[in-house]
Amino acid sequence: MIRSRKRLAWLLFLLMIVFLGLILYLSLFQLVSAGELKENAYNKRNWMDETKVQRGRFIDMQGKVLVESQPQSDGTNKRVAHFPYHYAQLIGYNSKVYGKSGLEAKYNSYLLNIQNDNLFGKLKGNVLKADIGNDVHLTLNHRLQEVAHQALKGKRGAVVAIEPASGRVLALVSQPSFNANRIEEEWNSIVENKNSPLLNRPIQGLYTPGSVMKVLTATALLENNVNLDYEDKGSAVIGGYKVVNLNGKAYGSIGLQKALVHSSNVYFAQKAVDLGAAAMKESAELFYINKDIPFELPVTKSRVSYQAGMGQTELAASGYGQGESLLTPLNLGLAIAAVANDGVMKQPFIVEKVMAPSGTVLEQAKPKTLSVVGSPANMKILQAALLATVKENRSAASIRGHQVAGKTGTAQTSSGRAHAWFIGYAPYENPQIAVAVIVEEAGGSGGKIAAPIAGKMFNYWLNQR
């Protein structure tokens, strides 16, 4: 046997290297891979709260329970959407495999009663575990949502209904939809569906607005004191490009109201060019085009590119909602609500309050003003024009007992099939509901396809509620 201190020292040295390596690896593991592992869907820790806490409910403005967790016999809780198709994109799904979406994701901490905002709150939440989560009360009215949901059934499109004076969202519908209760079973067919049922169309869909954009252009013209008289010959060459009215119809000497009633493309194209890109841009931004609209869920930014020195053709096209203009239905709903509210655009919101099981209100929404798009005097002029537009066209949006103001749109798309639009509000004197309806590639005009849906909503809200 050899007694060598050197050899022993080497052995010690080797093992020190090994232990040092292990320590380094553990530290690197914590710095590099730990974050991702924690979020892993297979990490049951992410679902511990879920099984322990009875997740809070989603409740509509009338106290109707839309989504709730039901305790099962095995001690776990099952998430049940009572109207699985109605709110599939908005409230979203809650799946161990595919995670959470929509308001389920956004209000997760409230629903599970987790105070994550600081270390103390987290510790407190861990030690004093609550059994029941908080309820999220929505501004939505389920019955109105149902009207829009049924009206859009079998179509692709979106409906937004807003209370103009406050910004409360009364309905937010996206079709086609999917069954939020069966997300795990049907995931593949949902994802592969080329009609994109997961897309929350009213806030994420970007559409060519077509003639409904004329309401926004009209606001810009009024606010900038542009000469509103025009000789409509049915077509005009602007910037080398020929703009024509529907069927080439000439309306002669018209003002703003007649231009809206007849939906004259030539009028708004020429007036937009007269006004210029800078003023058009300024007005558009008051409507939150090219800006982020604050909302509980992320809203895709509407895009109309007004650049200094932009081509006259493009500026003219933006005047009547064609060309490169792309807007979200929510944005157009806000715009018409602002017009109805005498120019004051309120911030949209869909969560009225979050309430603890004890009845304590943890969060209460308050109406906020986003911008003032136009003066009350100018808005009165525009409102009258929109009332005339509905009346003189005998629009299907009209209802018994109340006066409706609004504008249809039939937006040309690259596919050749037009989007059918309607934006409007009612009652005319005392607006209680503003609506934006779009049916994608409807194969018919806004007046024929979108306006009747708006009519149903006005009728429900003002006559049947």
- The answer to whether residue 15 forms part of the interface with other proteins (CB under 8 A) is yes
- The answer to whether residue 8 forms part of the interface with other proteins (CB under 8 A) is yes
End-to-end CA distance of the chain: 99
Nearest distance in Å: CB 306, other proteins: 49
CB 165 within 8 A of CB 434: no
Number of residues in contact with other proteins under rule CB under 8 A:
37
Closest listed residue to residue 451, CA positions, set 367, 402, 393, 380: 393
CA distance 105 to 38: 17
Which of residues 50, 67, 101, 127 is near other proteins by CB under 8 A? 127
Residue 316: φ, ψ to 5°: -65, -40
CA distance 316 to 272: 6
- The answer to whether residue 43 forms part of the interface with other proteins (CB under 8 A) is yes
CA distance 132 to 57: 10
Segment 106 to 125, residues that bind other proteins, using CB under 8 A: 123
Nearest distance in Å: CB 36, other proteins: 8
Residue listed under structure tokens 């005319």 = 428
CA distance 119 to 170: 37
Nearest distance in Å: CB 77, other proteins: 18
- The answer to whether residue 75 forms part of the interface with other proteins (CB under 8 A) is no
Please, which residues have CB within 8 angstroms of residue 440's CB and are 6 or more apart in sequence? Answer: 155, 156, 157, 207, 419
Nearest distance in Å: CB 20, other proteins: 9
CB 174 within 8 A of CB 90: yes
- The answer to whether residue 191 forms part of the interface with other proteins (CB under 8 A) is no
Tokens matching residue 48? 């511990």
> Which residues, listed in sequence order, are joined to residue 77 by a DSSP beta bridge?
71
CB closer to other proteins, 126 vs 195: 126
Closest listed residue to residue 407, CA positions, set 430, 431, 384, 429: 384
- The answer to whether residue 9 forms part of the interface with other proteins (CB under 8 A) is yes
DSSP single-letter state for residue 262: T
Please, which residues have CB within 8 angstroms of residue 258's CB and are 6 or more apart in sequence? Answer: 251, 264
Nearest distance in Å: CB 30, other proteins: 5
CB closer to other proteins, 16 vs 377: 16
CB 309 within 8 A of CB 415: no
- The answer to whether residue 30 forms part of the interface with other proteins (CB under 8 A) is yes
CB 170 within 8 A of CB 144: yes
Which of residues 11, 191, 246, 362 is near other proteins by CB under 8 A? 11
Which of residues 48, 191, 246, 278 is near other proteins by CB under 8 A? 48
Nearest distance in Å: CB 48, other proteins: 6
- The answer to whether residue 361 forms part of the interface with other proteins (CB under 8 A) is no
- The answer to whether residue 3 forms part of the interface with other proteins (CB under 8 A) is yes
Instruction: Please name the amino acid found at residue 151.
Output: A
Sign of CA dihedral 366, 85, 441, 249: negative
CB closer to other proteins, 41 vs 246: 41
CB closer to other proteins, 34 vs 377: 34
CA distance 331 to 9: 75
CA distance 242 to 435: 32
Residue listed under structure tokens 């046997």 = 1
The site string for other proteins over 364-403 (x = CB under 8 A, - otherwise) reads: ----------------------------------------
CB closer to other proteins, 32 vs 237: 32
- The answer to whether residue 464 forms part of the interface with other proteins (CB under 8 A) is no
CB closer to other proteins, 95 vs 459: 95
Which of residues 19, 252, 361, 362 is near other proteins by CB under 8 A? 19
- The answer to whether residue 33 forms part of the interface with other proteins (CB under 8 A) is yes
- The answer to whether residue 17 forms part of the interface with other proteins (CB under 8 A) is no
CB closer to other proteins, 5 vs 194: 5
DSSP single-letter state for residue 90: T
CB closer to other proteins, 62 vs 76: 76
CB closer to other proteins, 32 vs 308: 32
Instruction: Note the residues at the interface with other proteins (CB under 8 A).
Output: 1-12, 15-16, 18-19, 22-23, 25-27, 29-30, 33-35, 37-38, 40, 42-45, 48, 123, 126-127
